[in-house]
Structure 1
Amino acid sequence: MKLGFLQGVYEQQGPFATVYLDTSGDAEDAGKAIELRWRSAREQLSEAGADETTLQIIDEALQEPQRTSGNRGLVIVGNSDGVVFSDELPDRPGDFSDDELATYGPVPALFPYLRMRGTRIPHVIAVVDREGADITTVRATLASKTTEVEGDADLLHKSHTGGGAGSEQRQQNAVEENRKHNAGQVAEEISKRAAAINAEAIVLAGDPQQRQLVRQDIRKGLQPLVVETEAGHRDPNASEESLQQEVSETVGAVVDDRVQSVISDFERERGEHSRATEGWESTVAAVQRGQVETLLRAVPDASERPSTLHIGPSQADIATSESALTDMGVQGVQTAPADSALVRGLAGTDSALVLVDSEKVSLSGGIGAVLRYTEG
């Protein structure tokens, strides 16, 4: 997954409090249960050194209205200036360790969040018909926005009244041209929205013929992102359940294909001893140099790994030893949990992170990378 959406988080000054909270709302006493969980996390943060200002900021954030049903969770990252990141989790953080639920340190603890996101990627969904489309923009976080794009409908209904064969043919030609015009308008709006959120997939649903017209007008650079589904139409009374299920499966398949592609790239490059590296020391050094195109991290990971890494003020300041940074003149070196430091470094160098099944690819130390370039 691309981590650019986190860049703004790491531009803020720490230290940071990171909280993962079960905010499920099915039980009658759900509100009280959430309050008790936060109280426990608050005490844990306070013991770790979190200042009262930061804790009060999170207090206030948790007072905002939450959804009232279903299993869900919430991640909040705050510092003494405010909340720097928050997002709804797709499920309760049930498999998190106590150390992951509430942390306080120099960098946000966002690796568990990325691990839990699973197949979530920024994407655009367009349900099209001859008159326009309903376009939903799904960002990297759970926030989404749906808009309607309507073309010119006046000529879309073919005339079957008098006027002769020639008149009917002209009318039909006008209708077809209007459909193409509407498809072009929809395609341009899809292209704009996909570019704005750095979409990793564009899902087209709805009328099959109109889908093809829209698809061919989407900007050339975005064409590889387009996938189609048979589900969905623009009837306002129609159930969205089948469309949502189909889109979820389609996006999941896109992610699975890309993960497999990254694994294949890594194994090929590793076999050629070219644009690949593995193991903590060499991979972290590659992150520091900005060499990493995609980092592979095995989950679950039973490998021996460093508990912490050394970091400096810049996101690219990351190393397995303090001397590796101080020898370069970096000042203010601190330690941070290894995976949290990695995410910070990757976001700062526009690198991608792919979580891979540890049974599908063998990685020394549970970590490796496909590189943009090799040295020398």
Structure 2
Amino acid sequence: MDPRADPKKEVGQGGGHTPCTHMDLGFLRPLYSTDAPVASVHLDTSRHSTDSDKEIELRWRHLRQHLTRLGTDQATLHALEEAVGQGPSRSYGTHGQSLFASQGQLLDTHTLAVPPQHDHATWMPVPDPLPLVVDRGRHIPYVLVALDRVNAKIVGYTDQPTQGPALQEHPTGQTMHNLDGPLGRSGPGQRRGLGGRGSAQHAAQQMWRENTAAFAERAREAVRAVDAKIILVGGDEEAITYLRQNLGPRQLSIPIRIIAGGRGGQAAQERLHQATEQALAEHILDEHTQALNDYQQKLAHDQAVEGTEQATHMLTEARVQTLLLTAQRQNENHLYASLTQPVPVAQDPADLGQVDHDVFTAPASALMLRSAAASGASFTELLEQDTALAGSDHGALLRFAGNNH
């Protein structure tokens, strides 16, 4: 089988890379920069026709009315209205938007690669970031390389695909034409520096190796620039072979996956795009499977806990390394937390040891994410098919083992 046609073909993987599913929650910090109530809005901002602006306006109007009924102040509503559908969310295509505001100020806004299943808004003492966190966790930064033996296209993407490429380069290498003449060739069929022993074919292969070595260095720079979790490569088979030799596990600890398509005409570019989407989806699913297997193994060795009661207990003790939550919110439980201390979270308000006026209740995911972000924990989504295996909608990997009861 042609390895370029197999998106699951993976080479060059070294050990020690962190699964992309263990997501740093540091990007949520701006949402917790206020002690005042926060309005959280998640809505579909897709644009597919000339009527899209009106459709987005109607969606926002319904959410604004809902927020008004919840008691949101007019200044905060105005701040949200000014930001709805702006930035990358104005672009044509399918996407959504998450917005957070408080006291008349916009705390943060993010474009969602996939619109929420249902438009949703809350007005609570804490933000409600679960749809944003789930969307961010389903996308990874990556580098895409399309090449032949002389030219390459290297594109780096962050984990926010709606923002477009973070970098894009089109390096060009040497050609046999460059090697003609007194400065290039020592004689017919010989490349300068080969001592007269090299054939034209040998000279060409050496040139291609040098070209792809240069492309590999540019690819490594792109990986560092976007903190890529995978490299996807399509194009000329021999050029890919040379590139792989320069992007082995000694140089990079992330996987390299060979995909269909390349630098050719429109058809080749379309195959490359389709193969990229498929390869990314498969890689993320593989990472989720790996994370679930790791979770189940650690459960057996008291290095993880499952269920709301144990997860909240470990969060309160700041012992959670990675919080596991499902994106499903139907019949979601509410928990209790403190207005002044972000880490403690409990099923019973009495367990918080706080005065009554400092205690409030909110959806479990909002409070558990607040606690995880405050204590430096990461996040992994429990996929719908994972919850049956995990036995709960909530779980946690622990920073250190011990008595978990």
Measured against the shorter chain, the TM-score band is 0.7 to 0.9
The residue number in structure 2 matching 1:59 is 81
Kept in 1: contact 2:323–2:395 (CA 8 A): yes
Opposite residue 235 of structure 2, the aligned amino acid is G
Which residue of 50, 68, 87 corresponds with 1:46? 68
The answer on 1:120 being equivalent to 2:144 is: no
Percent of aligned pairs with the same residue? 25
Separation in 1, partners of 2:251, 2:344: 34
TM-score by length of 2: 0.75
Which of the residues 104, 119, 134 maps onto 2:123? 104
Match of 1:137 among 156, 166, 171: 156
Residues 1:36 and 1:209: Cα distance change in structure 2 (over 3 Å)? same
SS at structure 2 position matched to 1:169: coil
For residues 71-100 of structure 1, give each alpha carbon's deviation from its aligned partner in whole angstroms, at most 9, with x where no partner exists.
443222233332512213424x3x32xxx6
Cα separation, 1, equivalents of 2:341 and 2:31? 9
- Native 8 Å contact 2:305 2:395 kept in 1: yes
Report the CA distance between 1:261 and its aligned residue: 1.4
Gaps of 5+ in 1: none
8 A contact 1:287–1:318 mirrored in 2? yes
Instruction: Count how many residue pairs are aligned between Structure 1 and Structure 2.
Output: 367
1:246 deviates by 0.7
Structure 1 residues 163 and 32, CA, compared in 2 at 3 Å: closer, same or farther? Answer: closer
Q: Comparing 196-205 with 273-282, which one deviates more in the overlay? A: 196-205
2:319 equivalent to 1:291? yes
Amino acid of the residue matched to residue 241 of structure 2? Q
Question: Shift in Å at residue 109 of structure 1?
Answer: 1.6
1:369 counterpart residue number: 396
State the match for 1:74 in structure 2: 97
- In 2, the alpha carbon distance for the partners of 1:333 and 1:219 equals 54
Secondary structure, aligned partner of 2:382: strand
- What letter corresponds to residue 54 of structure 1 in structure 2? T
Cα deviation digits, residues 58-78 of structure 1 (max 9, x gap): 222236375575544322223
In the alignment, structure 1 residue 268 sits paired with structure 2 residue 297: yes
| TM-score scaled by length of structure 1 | 0.80
Deviates most, 349-358 or 256-265: 349-358
Provide Cα deviations, 1:109-149, integer angstroms capped at 9, x if missing partner: 22123445674222222223333532222222232324114
Which region of structure 1 is more displaced relative to structure 2, 363-372 or 162-171? 162-171
* Alignment correspondent of 2:4: none
In 1, the alpha carbon distance for the partners of 2:122 and 2:99 equals 11
Look up the match of 1:188. Answer: 217
Measured against aligned partners, the alpha-carbon deviations of 1:322-371 in whole angstroms (never above 9, x if no partner) come to 455447x9x95544321122223334424131222246644454222233
Deviates more, 1:213-222 or 1:21-30: 213-222
Specify every segment of 5 or more residues in structure 2 that has no aligned partner in the other structure, as ranges: 1-20
Moved over 6 A (4+): none
- CA distance in 2 between partners of 1:9 and 1:231 (Å): 41
Say if 1:18 and 1:77, in contact at 8 Å, map to a contact too: yes
Q: Is the 8 A contact 1:90 1:117 kept in 2?
A: no
Asked if the contact 2:232–2:257 (Cα under 8 Å) also holds between the matched residues in 1, the reply is yes
CA offsets, 1:250-301, max 9 Å, x none? Answer: 111111111111222222232x342121111211232344433433334547
User: Higher relative contact order by CA 8 Å / sep ≥ 6: 1 or 2?
Assistant: 2
Is residue 254 of structure 2 the alignment partner of residue 228 of structure 1?
no
C-alpha distance in 2 between matches for 1:135 and 1:68: 23
Secondary structure (helix, strand or coil) at the match of 1:287 reads helix
